[in-house]
Amino acid sequence: MTPDAIGKVATVVVLAVAMYFSRSLSFSGIIASTLIGLTAIFLGGWDCFLILLIFLTLGVAFTKYKHAEKTPGTLAQEKGGVRTWVNVFANGGPAIIPLVLEHFYNMEFFKVFFLSAVCSAASDTLSTEIGLLSKSKPRLITRLWKEVDKGVSGGVTLLGTIAGFLASLIIALMPLVTISTGISGLFFDFKDPLRLILTSTIAGFFGMIVDSLLGATVQALYVSKETGLLYEDPRKCNGECVLIRGFKHFDNNAVNFSSCLLAGIVGAILYML
């Protein structure tokens, strides 16, 4: 291995060890994030790795921030906490797909795809984690006059929506930072960084909205026959659970993956127009 390759591997491993001791990810989550990190740093370069690192840092920080205040009910408890490999791939997988394709085809389309997908993941994560701290009750995105309990997928708050937009903007600005500081990688010689920022921010925010719409319509929601409490994961249900909304196998991870993938495609198309 070259010194550069050794440095890249060492960086990803050190970060994985730090995540392990922070107890932010399960062991499977650490393995998954390591694989995604290695793919990003070798196929995309240091700038792509840094973008994913900022997303991960924001997600971990705001997941832990006032965590005790976010868990008054069963659904809110399911939203935060330790992330598994499924959570990691649901949020990071859509960003890795364009990196692989860009490696073979070398097109700006896939570069914007990558950034927009990460913007969407960050937007959704922070809108959820910060939205759970809102003093006002969430409203169902498909029926804004209807209040729902904290943690119900499809529930939105003004605080969470603003946080989601800002998260998308922060990630979208990262290529400008890496370009101005000379960090090598996918965006080092990007032709139009300002248009990249604009389209990726919009696409990331769009992905957050799509995530909420899918959560309010097709994502599985269960109710316990014994307690009447709502669950998105039937394995956590007390007693027998009944599906009252959505499709059985379309869970929160499927929603996250779908919305980030769609946001990536939309961002790339917007940029190319």
Provide the number of structural domains found in the chain.
Answer: 1
What is the domain extent for residue 183? 3-272
**Pairing between strand 143-147 and 221-224?**
unpaired
Sheet with 143-147, edge to edge strand ranges: 143-147, 139-140, 155-156
d(CA 202, CA 224): 38
pLDDT, tens digit, for every residue of 191-223? 899 999 999 999 999 999 999 999 999 998 888
Determine whether 188 is exposed, middle or buried from the number of CB atoms within 10 Å of its CB (0-12, 13-18, 19+). middle
Determine whether 32 is exposed, middle or buried from the number of CB atoms within 10 Å of its CB (0-12, 13-18, 19+). buried
Terminal-residue alpha carbon distance, the chain: 41
pLDDT, tens digit, for every residue of 73-95? 545 445 555 678 888 899 999 99
pLDDT, tens digit, for every residue of 22-75? 777 788 888 999 999 999 999 999 999 999 999 988 988 887 777 666 655 545
pLDDT at 210: 97
Which amino acid, residue 5?
A
What residues have CB less than 8 Å from 165, skipping those under 6 apart? Answer: 123, 201, 205, 208
Question: What are the start-end ranges of the E strands in the chain?
Answer: 139-140, 143-147, 155-156, 221-224, 230-231, 241-245
What residues have CB less than 8 Å from 127, skipping those under 6 apart? Answer: 156, 160, 161, 163, 164, 167, 208
Long-range contacts made by residues 54-61, C-beta under 8 angstroms, separation at least 24?
A: 54/170, 54/171, 54/174, 55/118, 55/121, 55/122, 55/125, 55/171, 56/19, 58/122, 58/125, 58/126, 58/167, 58/170, 59/83, 59/91, 59/122, 59/125, 59/126, 59/129, 60/19, 60/22, 60/24
How big is the CA angle at 32 (ends 26 and 35), to the nearest 5 degrees?
145
Per-residue pLDDT band at 167 (split at 50, 70, 90): very high
Round the average pLDDT of the chain to a whole number and report it. Answer: 88
pLDDT at 49: 96
